[in-house]
Amino acid sequence: MLSKNQIKFITSLKQKKYREQHKLFVAEGKKTIFELLQSNLKLHQLFTTTLEFDVLDDLVTQITDKELKKISFLKTPNTALAVFEIPKEIPIDFTKLVVVLDDVRDPGNLGTIIRLCDWFGVKDLVCSHETVDCYNPKVIQATMGSITRVNVSYTDLTQTLTKANTEVFGAFMNGDNVYESQLPNSGILVLGNEANGISATIENLVTQRVSIPRFGELQETESLNVANAVAILLSEFRRR
């Protein structure tokens, strides 16, 4: 049976300050947990209503559906919730293609972008400190396990981009047509905030502006969702 302290501790991990304090994050659902268990991430504790996980007994707590609802962050809990240790960040490899996010706030967008980086073989995703935390439960859910295969780093983007000795591509509405641009196998691709795009400070560090042209007759669509833009741009980088 879960104690009140256990429930309070697990639910506190919904907040970034407690995740950072305890160096722990929550993952939910069988598929996501299975993926994370097969990675290098270290399991702290697993709470489950079933017996289908191959985990050491002292790391598993059998709970009821009612107890799972008390600790779950989902509207419809899915048989299990696991607490994992947040891994240490590893150095960014700027000799390959790197995606950089400047103040992306939506957890669903970040989770999808992490999955896209995994799909297109981008090992490093670099985020501004203002970008949503990749260990936010909604982000973890949206990554569907891809968080284990992408190195997500949070840095001062100005310092990082200034030091990186490589070409910096920025996604803008008025950039060069990406379908007609010469794209390298390595470099940095920067995308900005959902509402405001790339900040002026980071824009000054961009060496080539690229855009995804609109083909609609009325040309009234304001912009693409940032995750959709990442998908199109990464596809173009890899196609070349």
**pLDDT tens digits along 71-84:** 999 999 989 999 99
Q: Distance of alpha carbon 81 from its chain centroid, rounded?
A: 19
What pLDDT, on a 0 to 100 scale, did the predictor assign at position 61? Answer: 93
Contact 127, 101 (CB under 8 A): yes
**Sheet containing 168-177: which strands, arranged edge to edge?**
151-155, 124-128, 97-102, 187-192, 168-177, 208-211
**CA-wise closest residue to 208 among 226, 231, 224, 236:** 236
What pLDDT, on a 0 to 100 scale, did the predictor assign at position 89? Answer: 87
Contact 160, 134 (CB under 8 A): no
Residue 1 binned pLDDT confidence (cut-offs 50, 70, 90): confident
Tell me how far CA of residue 81 lies from CA of 28, 54, 144, 146, in angstroms.
5, 14, 14, 17
Evaluate if residue 159 carries a pLDDT over 90.
yes
**What residues contact residue 177 under an 8 Å CB cut-off, 6+ apart?**
210, 211, 213
Evaluate if residue 122 carries a pLDDT over 90.
yes
3-state secondary structure 12-77: HCCCHHHHHHHCEEEEECHHHHHHHHCCCCCEEEEEECCCCCCCCHHHEEECCHHHHHHHCCCCCC
What pLDDT, on a 0 to 100 scale, did the predictor assign at position 138? Answer: 96
Query: What are the structural domain ranges in the chain?
Result: 4-85, 97-239
Percent of the chain past pLDDT 70, that is, above it, reads 98
The count of residues in the chain is 240
Tell me how far CA of residue 135 lies from CA of 17, 142, 146, 203, 240, in angstroms.
11, 11, 12, 27, 33
**pLDDT tens digits along 54-63:** 888 899 999 9
**pLDDT tens digits along 34-70:** 999 999 999 999 999 998 888 888 999 999 999 999 9
Q: Which residues is 169 bridged to in the sheet?
A: 189, 208
**What residues contact residue 91 under an 8 Å CB cut-off, 6+ apart?**
none
The CATH architecture of the domain made up of 97-239 is 3-Layer(aba) Sandwich (3.40)
Summarize the confidence of residues 114-128 as an average pLDDT.
98
The token pair that represents 47 in the structure block: 């709470």
What pLDDT, on a 0 to 100 scale, did the predictor assign at position 78? Answer: 87
Evaluate if residue 172 carries a pLDDT over 80.
yes
Evaluate if residue 212 carries a pLDDT over 80.
yes
Percent of the chain past pLDDT 90, that is, above it, reads 89
* 4-85 is a CATH 3.40.630.40 domain: no
What pLDDT, on a 0 to 100 scale, did the predictor assign at position 51? Answer: 83
Evaluate if residue 171 carries a pLDDT over 90.
yes
What pLDDT, on a 0 to 100 scale, did the predictor assign at position 56? Answer: 87
- Same topology, domains 4-85 and 97-239? Answer is no
- The whole-angstrom separation of Cα 59 and Cα 30 is 16
